[in-house]
Structure 1
Amino acid sequence: MYTSRPGIGSRILMAASGFVLFFLLAPLLVVIGVSFTSSNFLRFPPEGFSLQWYDAVINNTLYVDAFWLSIQIAGFGTILAMVLGVPASLVLVRKRFLGAGVISAIFLSPLILPTVVLGVAILQYASALGFARSFTALLVGHVVLIIPYVIRATLVSLADFDLASEEAAQDLGATTMQTLFLVTLPQIKPGVIAGGLLGFVISWINVEVSIFNSTSAMVTLPVRIFNQVQATVDPSMAAVSAVTIYFAVIAVFALDYFIGIEKAGMK
């Protein structure tokens, strides 16, 4: 069976794509490689193979506390963002009212605003209301950070949603809430989960919003890494940075395995 060979244009495109992929992955691979070094210095390629720096991170209460705080903030923030973002998406799609476009742009504005600006804004907002630099302020900041991803992914799922299924359910006697949970949400679930997972990753690796709303006793893992790098640099920095990479990669693979990137509305 004859198969045509790729043309020169396709080869150039493949080569360019490979170069871009390498350019994006190379720094991550260097960090992961250095995290397994047996030497006391950051050096690539690493010397020997050892898990001593991961052990040092696990036994360092500063990193462990920061790790659990990041899990709580990203987890609770994602849940709250989904609770708020999904109804907002439904209203934006179903209702036509004056200023709907402006409201939609406001919801999605954190996607284009610098995260430093968001961090400062949340700090000023929390200070005015009297809960600055607290767990609540940090959580609010991350909810604001995550909501646009939930709304964006949900809106994409709703674009292909068939309203006739809802009307059929209500004609058969289903209440509004029954229709929402038994008909609407199951159909847009891929988009909702995709937005939640992506928002979780964004929250997990965020520094800018967290650094303005944390204290010395309440520090997320990315901020802890940022602070420690300014004081000293050793392979333990690579180990804890590698941990954040592992979590982000696991979330992306989970999204692709259980839902599929294209089905998740991330086309």
Structure 2
Amino acid sequence: MGAGEMMRRVLLLCAALLLLLAAPAAALDGYDYYQTIDYNATDVSSYQQDLVIHRTAGTDYTLCDGLTVAASGLTSQSVTLSGSTPYSEVWIALGTAPGNYGYQSAIISTNTSSYTATIESFPLVAGETFYARAGCGGGYSSEVSFTLPSVTPRPRTTYGDRFNTLMSGNLSIPAFWEAEADTYGDQFGGGDFGVMVFVSLLSALVFIVLFLRSGDVVIPFMVGGLIAGVIIPHILPEFAEMGYAFAAAALIGIGYSLYRRYV
């Protein structure tokens, strides 16, 4: 065998090796891989090496000419995806990371020129950013991203506060008085100030009405004191003694008035 023939065979062998190496490299392009090596020792001088290749995430998507996708109509729980397509059927691939789609819609029938699809609720989450592609028999569209609006905080009302007061007090009389006083006090600014204004107006009204009917200031004053004595303890704890004093004075005054009138 001459030197020229030997050189030709070496060149052919090198070309074959390059083809073998290039084919797997092209097949692996666009993916992430890692290897696991296990050593099964049979004696101190020999071992076996196993190479395992895993595909972890695909990022290589064949693009389809004429297939597009765009996002519109964004709400906190819906999005409308539309675009052009040369195919009669398309679908939507959706995920929360670029190139990683964990959701695929049902097949969408088209008129081979355009399509529209609205996705609601699952898998959408308000305030999150999503990535999507349209898919068809010829490949995928380019990727589009969109961010859903955040949910508006629910306004907090106080409609249930009085009911909660009654329930926490096991519907007791003190809980009832507290809830009632707070309810009327809310009409005058709320809080302790509102309750005091309500008690003052109520006491004044009772005093005036009873005074005009009987001309006696004892009973109106004492009845007003009784009302104030029942409600005031629920405003500030230090007023409890004052409330008890008003209640005692009211009873004494009523008894004295009845004694003077009928005895």
Question: Which TM-score bucket, shorter chain as reference?
Answer: under 0.3
Structure of higher RCO (CA pairs closer than 8 Å, 6+ residues apart): 1
Which is richer in helix?
1
Question: What TM-score comes out, normalization by structure 1 length?
Answer: 0.25
Which is richer in strand?
2
Question: What TM-score comes out, normalization by structure 2 length?
Answer: 0.25
Bigger radius of gyration: 2
